[in-house]
């Protein structure tokens, strides 16, 4: 998080509950937008946005949606729409601020998953009801191949600096 520019977003996914508050504090200090994955109540408690994963049930969705409706513009909702009709239908129903559409390129986090490729990604993004973030296989070398239609890029590890490994 320390290397991200102000205004960038961070999706807190799979963190132990005790780490969410410190991450939220750091996000505020750094001017980052925090989205909590799959837990609307935790997102509300932290004043964060909510990210709805594609293949996992989300807790506390209704309270988050009600709070979002009461104060439009304050709470960000992001939805995963990984190339399928189910994600697209959910996006139309929930009216998110943005969608994560993936995988654009082959990715190490989902080995063997078929990549959409730039052309197919752009066609799908055009049909979706919100701006789409390109996700999947994003690396510095591939940034130039991201479709211009992408509202931004997201990465699990492809944009992180390499980690030095000690010999074993």
Report DSSP state, residue 96: -
Residue-wise pLDDT for 59-111, tens only, equals: 899 999 999 988 767 799 999 987 667 778 888 999 999 999 999 999 887 78
Report DSSP state, residue 113: P
The CATH topology of domain 1-76 is: Rossmann fold (3.40.50)
pLDDT for res 163:
47
Rama region for 83: left / alpha / beta (φ>0; ψ in -120 to 50; rest): left
Once rounded to an integer, what is the mean pLDDT over residues 22-48?
A: 95
More confident residue, 24 or 2: 24
Once rounded to an integer, what is the mean pLDDT over residues 13-35?
A: 93
Residue-wise pLDDT for 134-153, tens only, equals: 999 998 899 999 999 999 99
Q: Distance (Å, rounded) from C-alpha 152 to C-alpha 162?
A: 22
Cβ–Cβ under 8 Å, residues 36 and 48: yes
Residue 50 phi/psi, 5-degree rounding, is -125, 135
Confidence of residue 57 (pLDDT cuts 50, 70, 90): confident
pLDDT for res 159:
60
Confidence of residue 41 (pLDDT cuts 50, 70, 90): very high
Report DSSP state, residue 95: -
Tokens of 17: 């509950």
pTM (two decimals): 0.87
From-to residues of CATH 3.40.50 in the chain? 1-76
> Would you say residue 164 has pLDDT above 60?
no
pLDDT for res 83:
63
């Amino acid at each position: 998080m320390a290397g991200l520019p102000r205004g960038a977003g961070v999706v807190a996914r799979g963190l132990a509950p005790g780490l969410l508050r410190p991450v939220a504090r750091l996000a505020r200090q750094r001017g980052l937008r925090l989205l909590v994955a799959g837990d609307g109540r935790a997102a509300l408690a932290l004043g964060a946005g909510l990210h709805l994963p594609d293949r996992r049930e989300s807790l506390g969705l209704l309270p988050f949606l009600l709070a979002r409706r009461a104060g439009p513009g304050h709470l960000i909702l992001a939805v995963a729409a990984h190339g399928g009709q189910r994600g697209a239908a959910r996006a139309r129903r929930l009216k998110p601020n943005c969608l994560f559409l993936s995988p654009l390129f082959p990715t190490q986090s989902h080995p063997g998953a078929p990549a959409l490729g730039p052309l197919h990604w752009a066609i799908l993004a055009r049909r979706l009801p919100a701006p789409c973030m390109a996700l999947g296989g994003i690396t510095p070398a591939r940034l130039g191949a991201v479709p211009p239609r992408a509202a931004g890029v997201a990465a699990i590890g492809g944009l992180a600096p390499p980690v030095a490994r000690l010999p074993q």
